[in-house]
Amino acid sequence: MPVSKEMQTRREILSLIASIYDPLGFLAPFIITGKQILQELCRRKADCESKLPSDLTPMWHKWTRGLRDLSELRIVRSNMIEEDAAKSEIHCFSDASTTGYGACAYLRQITKEGEVKCSYLLGKARVAPLKMITIPRMELQAAVVATQLVSVLERELKDLLPANTATHYWCDSMIVLNYISNDAKKFKVYVANRIQQI
């Protein structure tokens, strides 16, 4: 993908980021950095045709160099789903930070011979909203993304996955885990809506 060093307006940056086709989320950890640069321009209310500020230029050049390197990236995309596996599980991990949040899902199967096979299925990463929210809320939003990913996978792979496929969600936020397991307490609207989605 050709990238010009002169490509430094908000419009050009948006166009380049939007042109990257990655439906399965293999490149999500890379693309999110480009989105963070774009978001910073939005935060500064930069005009669509204004040049990239000098303090963001090194970060942009580093990102575009990485974009050129993507042509060397090779990913094994084959997911050989064992329909008669002894055990079949979907594991979905979610996490968040001050700059973004996301989730990714893997298929783990144990064959009848005892061989363990793991393969990446789907991932999604998003930048943190412009309006700052707390890390626990970001972690909760990441958990929502995890449930959405699994919902997509269960719908798209329903004819391929064994009927006994179990789903496991992984989250390292004790606050979120307590939110989800608490049936007695009434939460504020933001939290309550997301718990309901989960």
- Give pLDDT tens digits for 3-39: 555 557 888 888 999 999 899 999 999 999 999 999 9
Type of residue at 128:
A
Same domain, 132 and 183: yes
The whole-angstrom separation of Cα 187 and Cα 184 is: 10
Regarding whether 183 and 148 lie in a shared domain, the answer is: yes
- Residues 123, 154, single domain; the answer is yes
Shared domain check, 96 and 34: no
Query: Rounded mean pLDDT of the chain?
Result: 88
Write down the pLDDT at residue 77. 67
Q: Where is pLDDT greater, at 3 or 119?
A: 119
Which CA distances in Å does 150 have to 20, 35, 66?
23, 24, 30
Task: For 72-118, give the secondary structure using H, E and C.
Answer: HCCCCCCCCCCCCCCEEEEEEEEEECCCEEEEEEEEEEECCCCCEEE
102-116: pLDDT as tens digits: 999 999 999 888 889
Tell me how many domains the chain contains: 2
147 belongs to a structural domain: yes
Q: Look up the domain containing 55 and give its range.
A: 10-72
